[in-house]
Amino acid sequence: MTDVPLFEGLVLGIETSCDETSAALVEGRRVRSNVVSSQASLHEKWGGVVPEAAARSHVESILPVVEEALERAAASLGEISGLAVTNRPGLIGGLSVGLTAAKGFAYALGRPFVGVHHLEGHLMSVLAETEGFRADVTFPHLALIVSGGHTEIVLVHESGRYELIGQTLDDAAGEAFDKSARLLGLGYPGGRAIEQAALEGDPKRYPLPRALPGDPFNFSFSGLKTAVLRLVEREGNQLKVADAAASAQEAIVGVLTAKFLAAAEETESRCLSLVGGVAANEALRSRLQDGCYRRGLAFICPPPDLCTDNAAMIALAGSRRLASGERDDWNLDALSLANLTDP
Ligand code: KG4
Ligand code: ZN
């Protein structure tokens, strides 16, 4: 059963590590508001996130986004009892904006704040309680984190104590979606675009490689990108884009599912969670749901808006840290690189 002590009162979460400016208010597990302002249209013309432009956009959006989070929660600044902010890993410019804002609020309100690892935020998204979602999270459980920058299988012994079981040796799963989408002319960000195009496609039409068959729990997606490039060159204007999208999605979803379920067996896990932006993918969600059902395993996957980057997950992870007495001080820095298992 879930037994994660959370901080008393309202916790404000702030997330600015990549191209989403987000602020959320949680009270216990309950998400009172979760506002996400996406910069996708800003970066679309470049086909990827431009760090300098992202940082400037966070500067513009951060206060309106916090204001809207307060408004939607029908709360006032004075009701905030603690703050949580993503301080690692991510783009330094963006992280610095969120961190500075959080410190400013903490200082002005005289409330404690903690820095949160972005991936811990994704892991703790399973704790969220919304209108349509509340999961019985058990510990230990096995998590698959799939995002634009990470692909990791993590054994969550308890919140805050993590063991890395497997990871990607090159591109992340989200990158594989984004790069394949770009090669297929489907635009940015690519994950949703591939998913949409794949709805009309035949996943068996173009067989694409499944990487690292001999390595049970690690992943490699860079070969897929090359294979999609070759496919595009070979087929030219004969290419059936929907079939290529479905085939690329199948290559990614198939390997993620097989290795995650194999890791569950190896670690004797009874409860599996799927988190991170790529967890918004319906093909991956239903394949894993099905695999878990057939093995009698519990399966938790938050709704899509809590899978892609958001501040509610940061508030939840921070709330747990605040409840255990953790506090950060004004020296807390932003880090572009940091492992989840670092102290
Ligand atoms: O967790 P996230 O929002 O940001 C990072 O921490 O990176 O993940 C973003 C990634 C992107 O690569 C995006 O293409 C992918 O998640 N993504 C999807 C879907 N929605 C977002 N991938 C596949 N299917 C989707 N529906
Ligand atoms: Zn993320």
Q: Which ligand 1 atom sits closest to the C-alpha of 150?
A: 7
Q: Which residues have C-beta under 5 Å from ligand 2, the single-atom ion? A: 147, 309
Question: Do 141-301 and 10-133+306-323 have the same topology in CATH?
Answer: yes
pLDDT at 1: 53
Asked if residue 261 has pLDDT above 80, the reply is yes
> Span 269-287, mean pLDDT?
98
> Span 219-231, mean pLDDT?
96
| Cβ of residue 281 lying under 6 Å from some atom of ligand 1 | yes
Share of the chain above pLDDT 90, in %: 92
Q: 3-38, pLDDT tens digit by residue?
A: 789 999 999 999 999 999 999 999 999 999 999 999
> Span 73-77, mean pLDDT?
98
- Confidence band (pLDDT; 50, 70, 90) for 47? confident
Tell me, in angstroms, the distance from the centre of ligand 2 to residue 119's CA.
7
Ligand index nearest the alpha carbon of residue 149: 1
Confirm if 53 and 42 have CB atoms less than 8 A apart: yes
pLDDT at 41: 86
Q: 79-128, pLDDT tens digit by residue?
A: 999 999 999 999 999 999 999 999 999 999 999 999 999 999 999 999 99
Confirm if 191 and 277 have CB atoms less than 8 A apart: yes
Output the CATH code of domain 141-301: 3.30.420.40
Tell me, in angstroms, the distance from the centre of ligand 2 to residue 145's CA.
9
**Class of 10-133+306-323 per CATH?**
alpha beta
Q: Which ligand 1 atom sits closest to the C-alpha of 20?
A: 3
How many Å apart are CA 50 and CA 179, to the nearest integer?
A: 16
Tell me, in angstroms, the distance from the centre of ligand 2 to residue 17's CA.
8
Burial zone of 51 (CB within 10 Å; 0-12 exposed, 13-18 middle, 19+ buried): middle
Tell me, in angstroms, the distance from the centre of ligand 2 to residue 104's CA.
24
Q: 283-335, pLDDT tens digit by residue?
A: 999 999 999 999 999 999 999 999 999 999 999 999 999 999 999 999 999 99
How many Å apart are CA 167 and CA 143, to the nearest integer?
A: 12
β-strands 151-158, 298-300 pairing: unpaired
The residue among 150 and 42 whose pLDDT is bigger is 150
Q: Domain spans of the chain?
A: 10-133+306-323, 141-301
Question: By alpha-carbon position, which residue is closest to atom 1 of ligand 1?
Answer: 277
Averaged confidence pLDDT in the chain: 96
Ligand index nearest the alpha carbon of residue 172: 1
| Cβ of residue 148 lying under 6 Å from some atom of ligand 1 | yes
pLDDT at 48: 82
- Name 155's bridge partners: 142, 163
| Cβ of residue 220 lying under 6 Å from some atom of ligand 1 | no
pLDDT at 2: 60
